[in-house]
Structure 1
Amino acid sequence: MSLKVAVNSLPPKTVNGRKVMPNAWAIGLYSYSASHPGAEGFNRFYDSVLAVFQAAGITPTYFAAEGAGYRGNLTKYGGRTHAKALRTGFSDLHVMSLVANPAESDEPAYDSFASASLAYVKDTGETLLCLALEERLLEFGGSAFENVLQSLVCLNSWDFGYALSQPAEKKPEFHVLGLDGGVVSQEDSRRLNAWYAAPPKERLRKLRDIYPYLVLNAAQLAAPVSGDHVLENVARSESLSTLNSLDGTSLWLWKIPPEAVTNLRAKLVGSGVLIT
Structure 2
Amino acid sequence: MTEKVFAIGLYSYTTPAPGADGLKAFYDLVTSIFHRIGIAPTYFAAEGLGYKGDLTKIGGRVYTKALKSGFSDIHVMSLVANPEGSAEPGYDSFASASLSYVEEIGETLFCLAIEERFLEFGGDIFESILMSCIGLRHWDFGYALSQFIEQKPEFHVLGLDGGKLTAEDRKRLNKWYASLPEVRLQKIRDVYPVNVLNDTQLNAQVSVSQTLEDIIRADSFSSLRRVGDGQLWLWEVQLGGLDDLRNMLATGNVLIT
Q: TM-score range by the shorter chain?
A: over 0.9
- Report the Cα offset of residue 61 of structure 1: 1.2
Aligned to 2:9: 28
Q: Determine the structure 1 residue equivalent to 2:27.
A: 46
Q: Deviations over 1:66-87 (max 9, x none)?
A: 1111111111111111100100
Amino acid at match of 1:213: V
CA distance in 2 between counterparts of 1:99 and 1:253 reads: 27
For the structure 1 residues 221 and 112, does the alpha-carbon distance in structure 2 shift closer, same or farther, using more than 3 Å as the test? same
Aligned equivalent of 1:201: 182
**Structure 2 residue 79 is matched with structure 1 residue 83:** no
1:21 and 1:197 map into 2 onto residues whose CA distance is 32
Using the size of structure 1 for normalisation, the TM-score is 0.91
Alignment of 1:72 with 2:53, yes or no, is yes
**In structure 1, what residue type is equivalent to 2:154?**
E
Aligned residue identity for 1:57 = G
1:254-273 mapped onto 2 (5 Å cutoff): 254-273=235-254
Deviation readout 1:29-69 (Å, 9 max, x if unpaired): 00000101111110111000001101111111110011111
The answer (yes or no) to whether the contact 1:268–1:274 under 8 Å persists in 2 is yes
Instruction: State the partner residue of 1:240.
Output: 221
Q: Which whole-Å CA distance do the structure 1 matches of 2:135 and 2:228 have between them?
A: 9
By how many angstroms is 1:104 displaced? 4.0
CA contact (8 A) 2:46 2:52 kept: yes
Name the SS for the 2:215 alignment partner: helix
Residue number among 208, 218, 227 corresponding to 1:227 in the alignment: 208
Cα root mean square deviation, aligned: 1.0
Matched, 1:142 2:123: yes
SS at match of 1:226: coil
Q: In 1, distance between residues paired with 2:123 and 2:2?
A: 21
Aligned residue in 1 for 2:92: 111
C-alpha deviation, 1:207, in angstroms: 0.4
The verdict on how the C-alpha distance between 1:249 and 1:64 changes in structure 2, with shifts beyond 3 A counting, is: farther
**Counterpart Cα distance in 1 of 2:88 and 2:164:** 17
Q: SS where residue 174 of structure 2 aligns?
A: helix
Work out the CA distance in 1 between the residues paired with 2:240 and 2:92.
28
Secondary structure of the structure 2 residue equivalent to 1:163: strand
The alpha-carbon deviation at position 247 of structure 1 amounts to 4.2
- Residues 101-146 of structure 1: CA deviation (Å, up to 9, x unaligned): 1224332122211000000000000000000000000000011001
- Counterparts of 2:218 and 2:169, CA distance in 1: 28
Aligned residues: 257
Report the AA paired with residue 70 of structure 1: Y
Does residue 37 (structure 1) correspond to residue 18 (structure 2)? The answer is yes
**2:134 touches 2:228 (CA, 8 Å); kept in 1?**
no
Unpaired stretches in structure 2, ≥5 consecutive residues = none
Per the alignment, residue 251 of structure 1 pairs with: 232
CA contact (8 A) 2:188 2:256 kept: yes
Tell me, which stretches of 5 or more residues in structure 1 are unaligned?
1-19
CA distance in 1, matches of 2:167, 2:59: 40
Structure 1 ranges of 4+ moved more than 2 A: 103-107
